[in-house]
Structure 1
Amino acid sequence: MIRSLSFVFFVLISIQALSQEKVTLNGYVRDVSNGEELIGVTVYIPQMKAGTMTNPYGFYSLTLPKGTYEVQFSYVGYSAQTVTVNLQGNTERNIDMLGESTMMQEVVVSDKRVDENVVQLQMSKNTLDMNRVRKLPALFGEVDIIKNIQMLPGVITAGEGTSSFYVRGGSADQNLILIDEAPIYDPSHLFGLFSVFNADVIKDSELYKGGIPARFGGRLSSILEVRTKDGNNKQLSGSAGIGTMASRLMIEGPIKKDKSSFIISARRSYVDLFLRAANNDNLVHFYDVNAKLNWRHNNNNRFFAAFYSGRDVFNFGDQFGFAWGNRTATFRWNHLFNDRLFSNTSVILSNFDYKLELKDPVQGFKWTSNLEELSVKNDLSYFINTNNDLTFGYHITGRRFSPGRISPNTEASMFKEINLQHMFAIDHALYISNQQRVSEKITLDYGLRLSIFQNVGSTDLYLYNDPQNNSRPVRTDTVHYGAWKNIKTYVNLEPRAAIRYMLADGQSLKASYNRMVQNTHLVAAGTVPVPFNTWNPSGYYLTPQLADQVALGYFRNLRDNTLEFSAEAYYKDMKNVTDFADNANIFFNQDLSTEFRQGKSWSYGLELMLNKKEGKLTGSVGYTWSKTMRKVPGVNGGMEFPANYDRRHVLNIQAAYDYSPRWTFGATFTYSTGRPVTVPTGKFEYENYHPDVITERNGYRLPVFHRLDLSATYSPKKNDNRRWKGSWVFSVYNAYNRQNPFTIYTRVTKNKDGDIIGDGYTKEARMIYLFPILPSVTYNIKF
């Protein structure tokens, strides 16, 4: 590792020596109205036919020969700017851009822009435009980026009522979900009716499905990176919303104008308040809080502190209750070493926990579990010249897995206290990558990530005579490992590469390859991850999961850059994917490692996307054809079977129409073929016991899924004497009342009155449906 870092700095010093005749232009690009740094702004110099983009912290740097240049700054939704710079020495130039929300009528946004869809190197990446997302229909009127992500090509959902999503054949636990760099292990509220992301505080969100940059790791399928706003450092402002099921409030403003700022938001559902008022003991609610502080000491040093806390609580009278939640904290320091070398250092805390309680005098118990994580990261960007941007860094993460503790909650309880062992792991990563502009037509991105994973003590390791035997294995020995003693180490290299080749104007071809390594495994028996599934590290019995993905794409602009079209094909090969043996016992099992089975999975597909971002009518049409299969020894008789989130055809349509300055209408439509499920194919009798016979894993498919949602937003004319502005959002979820099947189960055949028909042994399949037509109204305020 030390040798690798020494080599990196040797390269930097060598390049610096070769380019001393040049000078550097750098700075930050910000929103003029609130001081927020803008991510991904295109900085282009026509004379050089070269440029760059602002990094995730709004910083840019260009090294050029001395001279006078016109520098163009362009960003979707902002007025393009051109500045003239006489570059005779290293120069700092910060740019304030005028956004849609602050434009006067006489300001015209340039309709001639460099279209990132074609020009940028990155493929298999989607950036959500929050202004556009807010115009689309939302369940119970609550804008949810997860629901919008589920509408993207290559992304599949298990159905309604879940925030889980599946990307290019990967399972839900193979998505890394980040908020201000901190991982979120369960992104759902109320079992997926809402997500943990409050749209009022979101600054930027990006989903990487392939061609994943080397700075990311730890998951096989995708990276969802969500960044929250830094807070308005110009003036005090805020927003609020009162909805059908939840309300929210956000306030932001300067601590010291242009120097430091804050933002805080809170959201809570109030179904429990109505139920309590009706003397109903079944109380259900969720809440979450976001907060952030930032301080700009000078242009070379800036500090951030971001916090998130969210929780769901379910209480069903004196019967049972459960709760789960995420808490994160991120402390970040941005430092500019010189005109070209930018550093971000982060200390990150994350905690996910859940609790379950059965309130019964005899069968009562409490069950608690959690996963704690502490990370330290240092990411550096070195802007070598207009043709090379180098990024490198080191990450270290420590995790403590507490899979479960069960204890009696009454003296008469039949349960005894059981503590499943804590598990500990240390994850190291060292990476380096370079984005190189070879010519006007060809741009490359290549890099390497080194993953070193250590499963460590303190713990007792159980040894078995045959751990993979489907009958009950027998323990043969126990080996104790003290604190921090190494149990198992895995070292993996993760190469990454991407290329973009420009064709005629407005067209390009792109290709990418990435290897991903995942050292954590979700212990889940069902299709949809619920909070009561637990995580395990790789170790003595579990091998890290690996994925190799290649993708090829064609990108083209139509009608003078007003329409974007893309077509991407991919193939993903996954090794050591984790499943469970048939009839596995996964709850409070001290010998859980004997229930794991690891095999292979493969997925391939085609994704088509047509996107319209400008004009009164905006929207997108996306189509995905894909196939995902698995083959795991000890599962399904060792034969291959479709993954339980395998949907062959998915069509998604989104549209928003600005009818007038007062009214905006939105619609979304989704259609997908049914997902596979496992159902009994027969039964047999044994001593008056009639168990089901299951002959095939995921051998039956549910009916097709389709749904239409509608919305209308009314914005009354603003009173110039009032600072605040209100709007009404009316929405209808499942407009034509489609009964979409969520899952299927079998029961003894009964008539419509609930009486058993026949001998009581014949069974029938029954569908479970979740949501009928659901109208909602929300009142939003900005001030």
Structure 2
Amino acid sequence: QTTSDSVPAQTLDEVIVTASDAQRNLKAAEMGRHVISGDVILKLPVLFGEPDVVKTLQTLPGVAQGVEGFAGLYVHGGDNDQNLFLYNGLPLYHVSHVGGIFSSFNVSTIHNVDFFKSAFPARYGGRISSITDIKMKAPDFERFTGKFTVGLLAANGYISGPIVRDKLAFSAAVRRSWIDIVGLPALAIFNAIQHKDGKKTIAGYNFMDFNARVDWRVGDGKIYAIGYYGRDYLKIGDRKFETDDSGYSYYPNPDGTTTVEESTKFFDENTNRLVWGNWGVSLNADYRLGGGMLTGSVYYTRYFSNYRQKQEHQNDLSDPSTYGYSINGTKNSIADIGVNAQYMQQFGQVYLLKLGTGYVHHNYHPDGIENEYCDADSYRNDNNGNPQVRSNEVFAYVDNLFNFGEWASLDAGLRFVSHRIGGRSFPRFEPRASVRVNVTEDYSVKASYARINQYVQQVSSNYISLPTDLWQPVGKGLEPLGSDQYSVGVYGNLPREMFFSVEWWYKQMRNLVEYREGISSIDPKLDWDDKITGGKGWAYGVDLSVTKEFGKVRGTVSYGLMWNWRKFDKLNGGLKFPAKFDNRHKININATYRLNEKIEFNAGWTFMTGNRMTVALYNYDEPADFFPDAPTTGIGPNDYHGSLTEGIGYYSGRNNVRLPAYQRLDIGMSLYKKLKNGHRSIWNFSLYNAYCYMNAMTIKKEDMGYGTIDRNFRKLCLLPVIPSVSYTYEF
């Protein structure tokens, strides 16, 4: 039986995909590919009881997490916006909740995750660092199945079953946080306490995601529809008001007396609201045509981020003319409509051909600004109408897989992409090639090359990626990002059912973009191309791993070594500098021990060289107002009265300081119980950062103490040890 998630059973790559991840790496031509099942993700120790796709990928060699606790993905020296996420072929632009602490994929719906960090197949394009292709579980055509999970911060449910047995089936999952519900009583008590002071705190946050799938078997093919919705809502603010019912206000004086003034009731409220997310739908079809398989898809996907700050005031509640308000906000969205098709045919056991083509219409709203002001005497609206930018993208590819018996294989492909925007076209050819040679039955060597381009990117002025970061398409001031990646590797079987891999890689990146030095990203007086500057980057390193996939004890030990550089003519004096996430060494150890059918233990340990950041090591006195040409005075080591936080900062270079090394141990235990009705329950207990090592998120420079010559820096930490528990009921 061929499902919508696989190719015909007789094809070469079906045999490879159904093998273990380690055995596939030994026998397949491709490099830098990891296939992780949803069941594996569910068993790992988790933060706040929420299994996470992106945090699982962060444990792989060559992949950095960025800032602790956040769902960042920095692959082979790339940035967080250079990763393509596909949800059963549906592209998604934003894939995290809580500002990045959780990824927005409900693991209950996932069959497996296909992750590529090098040697990208020709069918993929659009991002230069990685591809994450998430496959949903196919619905059950025979019986109803499902699960419900309750964790510390969220609850989720999944159900699947037939609509018409053997013909039509569905699956659906929903997850929602209950931070706002649990926190509501505490917020009400806090506001009751501060009510007498005329203050009120406004706070609320929740996230949710919804996934649905419907499959219809039609003859030798299948038609299936996918729906995805993920959304975050954050609101914070405060309200000040007059509470004295007597109509008088009382003000204490320094001499102990009290001044009494007649008062009028008023209020002053300031709120900040941020809503962001991604939603999309797709209609897909698989059909046997001749000796091959024809697949097609049409989809719509939309990303949105809306920030709004509103300030309201009324000086006298009895007089409506004293009411006024001001609104400031930004809007950023992308809407894509796409269609694609692929034909695949197997020729004996020697040759597999894949041909594909597609079209995408992009509609960008990159920089919508909302400014509105109103009081009794005036009204002003400075909205810019949320200007849009449209572009059209066409692509075609051919992928050829040659299998020369058990000893060698070659995967050679070519992808052509043309992106047209604002009257300009950006055509690009992207060759891809991977070759494998087995030197013995248990050892193979590989080499690969991949070129790939990217036509939209985020530019962030923050240390972490935020929902307010803008997506900007190519065009004015921006050229397509591009990368060339070269890899060689050795793979082999070890005693006791273990497997090893070693991959060396080198990656060149062009047309990277950063904000110019001293430029504010929200400066309304500057055009976009005046805020940014272009440059290049390169990274290189080696990824090593040893894996044991069978037996009571299973696990992986991996090590990544990396150098990550950037060079911009208008940054750092034109000299090269290390990237923010130039994490030289990274070690991950993950292990699972199945004691029996009822108890399973798991643990994961991470060690990583610290991130980099730009810090002023010294400060100088500012020039005198009347003598601007006078030399500045440095704060020297013998200046006991100087402050290292005042004056003009001296920077020895961009990203000149490396944070302390990062380390963390996570442990967990799962208890399985079969119920009398044939169903199953699972209790999961875990400790995030079990030995409570306080990792530095950033560092802050502090004043020199009186009588000391030491420069004081204090590290700011985020996550201590965090216990989690969740309960799952399966049927």
- Structure 1 length normalisation: TM-score? 0.79
Q: Which residue of the other structure, out of 386, 394, 404, is the alignment partner of 1:438?
A: 404
The whole-number CA distance in structure 1 between the counterparts of 2:369 and 2:66 is 30
Correspondence 1:333 to 2:285: yes
Shift of 1:687: 5.8
Give the secondary-structure state (helix, strand or coil) at the position aligned to 2:55.
helix
In the TM superposition, 1:196-211 aligns within 5 A as 196-211=104-119
The code of the aligned residue for 1:223 comes to I
Given the alignment of the two structures, is residue 183 of structure 1 paired with residue 101 of structure 2, yes or no? no
| Corresponding position of 1:730 | 685
CA 1:161–1:242 in 2, change beyond 3 Å: closer, same or farther? same
The residue number in structure 2 matching 1:223 is 131
2:416 is the counterpart of 1:450: yes
Q: 1:312 matched to which residue of 2?
A: 232
Q: Do residues 548 (structure 1) and 498 (structure 2) align?
A: no
Aligned to 1:606: 542
Equivalent positions of 1:345-356 (< 5 A) are 345-356=296-307
- Distance in 2 of aligned mates of 1:240 and 1:414: 51
One-letter amino acid of the counterpart of residue 726, structure 1: S
Q: Distance in 1 between matches of 2:111 and 2:301?
A: 21
1-structure distance, mates of 2:393, 2:702: 47
Partner deviation per Cα, 1:583-642 (whole Å, 9 max, x = no partner): 223226460112221111111001100111110111101100000101111011111001
Distance of 1:768 and 1:42 partners within structure 2 = 54
Q: Distance in 2 between matches of 1:125 and 1:726?
A: 33
CA distance, structure 2, for counterparts of residue 204 and residue 494 of structure 1: 27
Contact 2:308-2:330 at 8 Å conserved across structures: yes
* One of 337, 356, 373 as aligned partner of 1:393: 356
Aligned-partner Cα distance in 1 for 2:704–2:386: 40
Following superposition, the deviation at residue 237 of structure 1 comes to 1.0
Instruction: Give the superposition deviation at 1:367.
Output: 2.2
Give me the whole-angstrom Cα distance separating, in 1, the residues matched to 2:522 and 2:599. 52
> Structure 2 matches for 1:684-703, cutoff 5 A?
684-686=621-623, 690-703=647-660
CA distance in 2, matches of 1:586, 1:613: 48
Aligned length: 649
**What is the 5 A alignment of 1:279-428?**
279=188, 281-299=202-220, 301-318=221-238, 319-338=271-290, 340-361=291-312, 364-408=327-371, 411-412=374-375, 416-419=382-385, 421-428=387-394
1:242 — aligned with what? 150
Q: From 594, 597, 601, give the equivalent of 1:665.
A: 601
Residues 527 and 645, structure 1, Cα contact 8 Å, conserved in 2:
no
| Residues 360-379 of structure 1, C-alpha deviations (whole Å, 9 max, x = no match) | 23654232221111111111
Residues 681 and 184 (structure 1), Cα distance of their counterparts in 2 relative to 1, 3 Å cut: same
Deviation, structure 1 residue 441: 1.6
Partner of residue 569, structure 1 = 504
Tell me which structure has the larger Cα radius of gyration. 2
Q: Is the partner of 1:359 in helix, strand or coil?
A: strand
What secondary structure does 2:332 align onto?
strand
Q: 2:195 matched to which residue of 1?
A: none
**Shift, 1:451, TM fit:** 1.2
Aligned to 1:719: 675
Deviation (angstroms), 1:255: 1.0
2: distance between equivalents of 1:541 and 1:712? Answer: 52
Give the equivalent residue in structure 1 for 2:39: 131
Q: Which amino acid aligns with 2:301?
A: S
Greater shift, 728-737 or 424-433, is seen at 424-433
Q: Which residues of structure 2 form unaligned runs of 5+? A: 191-201, 239-270, 313-324, 626-645
For residues 764 and 218 of structure 1, the distance between their equivalents in structure 2, rounded to whole angstroms, comes to: 45
C-alpha separation in 1, matches of 2:721 and 2:20: 36
Cα distance change of structure 1 residues 650 and 302 upon mapping to structure 2, 3 Å threshold = same
Partner of 2:662: 705
Change (3 A) 1:749 1:428: farther
Does structure 1 conserve the Cα–Cα contact (< 8 Å) formed by 2:331 and 2:386?
no
Question: Do 1:452 and 1:491's aligned partners in 2 also have CA atoms closer than 8 Å?
Answer: yes
SS at match of 2:729: strand
SS of the residue aligned with 1:627? strand
Aligned residue identity for 2:111? K
Give the distance between the partners of 2:678 and 2:614, measured in 1 at CA: 57
Q: Which residue of 1 aligns with 2:56?
A: 148
Aligned equivalents of 1:610 and 1:297: distance in 2? Answer: 44
CA displacement, residues 524-567 of structure 1 (integer Å, 9 cap, x when unaligned): 1223221111111111431111111110010101226x211100
Local SS of the residue matching 1:141? coil
After superposition, the Cα gap between the structure-2 partners of 1:494 and 1:38, relative to the gap in structure 1 and judged at 3 Å, is closer
Residue number in structure 1 paired with 2:636: none
Q: Alignment partner of 1:768: what SS?
A: strand
Contact 1:556 1:565 in 2 (8 A): yes
Aligned partners of 2:605, 2:7: CA distance in 1, in Å?
30
For 1:316, give the aligned amino acid.
I
Conserved in 1, the CA contact under 8 Å of 2:373 and 2:381? no
Q: CA deviation at 1:304?
A: 1.0
Residues 435 and 208 of structure 1, relative CA distance in 2, 3 Å threshold: same
Q: Deviations over 1:193-231 (max 9, x none)?
A: 211111100012111011100011111111011011121
The reply to whether residue 54 of structure 1 matches residue 14 of structure 2 is yes
Paired letter, 2:210? V
Instruction: Check 1:41–1:398 CA distance in 2 against 1; reply closer, same or farther (3 A cut).
Output: closer
Secondary structure (helix, strand or coil) at the match of 1:276 reads helix
CA distance in 1, matches of 2:373, 2:106: 39
Distance change in 2, residues 1:418/1:745 (3 Å): farther
Aligned residue in 1 for 2:521:
586
What SS is found at the alignment partner of 1:54? helix
Separation (CA, whole Å) in 1 of partners of 2:15 and 2:281: 22
- Provide the secondary structure at the position in 2 that maps to 1:418: coil
Distance, in Å, in 2 between the alignment partners of 1:537 and 1:385 is 44
Select between 420-429 and 529-538 the one with higher mean Cα deviation: 420-429
Give the aligned residue type for 2:558: G
Identify unmatched segments of 5+ residues in structure 1. Answer: 1-26, 31-36, 44-50, 59-73, 78-113, 457-485, 751-756
Structure 2 contact 45–667 (Cα < 8 Å) conserved: yes
How many angstroms does 1:41 deviate by? 9.6
TM normalised by structure 2 equals: 0.85
Residues of 2 paired with 1:512 and 1:575: CA distance? 20
**Alpha-carbon contact 2:5-2:138 (below 8 Å) kept:** no
One-letter amino acid of the counterpart of residue 771, structure 1: L
Provide the C-alpha distance between the structure 2 equivalents of 1:253 and 1:454, rounded to a whole number of angstroms: 44
- Residue 294 of structure 1 aligns with an amino acid whose one-letter code is D
The letter of the residue matching 2:502 is A
Name the aligned partner's letter for residue 365 of structure 1. Answer: N
C-alpha contact 1:364 1:414 (8 A) present in aligned 2: no
**Equivalent runs, 1:510-521 vs 2, <5 Å:** 510-521=446-457
Does 2:725 match 1:777? yes
- Give the Å deviation of 1:359: 2.7
Residue 345 of structure 1 aligns to which amino acid in structure 2? G
Is 1:638–2:594 an aligned residue pair?
no
- Percent identity between the aligned chains? 29
Question: Quick check: 2:332–2:471 contact (8 Å CA) kept in 1?
Answer: no
Looking at structure 1, the residues matched to 126 and 298 of structure 2 have their Cα atoms a distance apart, in angstroms, of 17
**What is the aligned partner in structure 1 of residue 585 from structure 2?**
649
The question of whether the paired residues in 1 share the 8 Å contact of 2:7 and 2:293 is answered with no
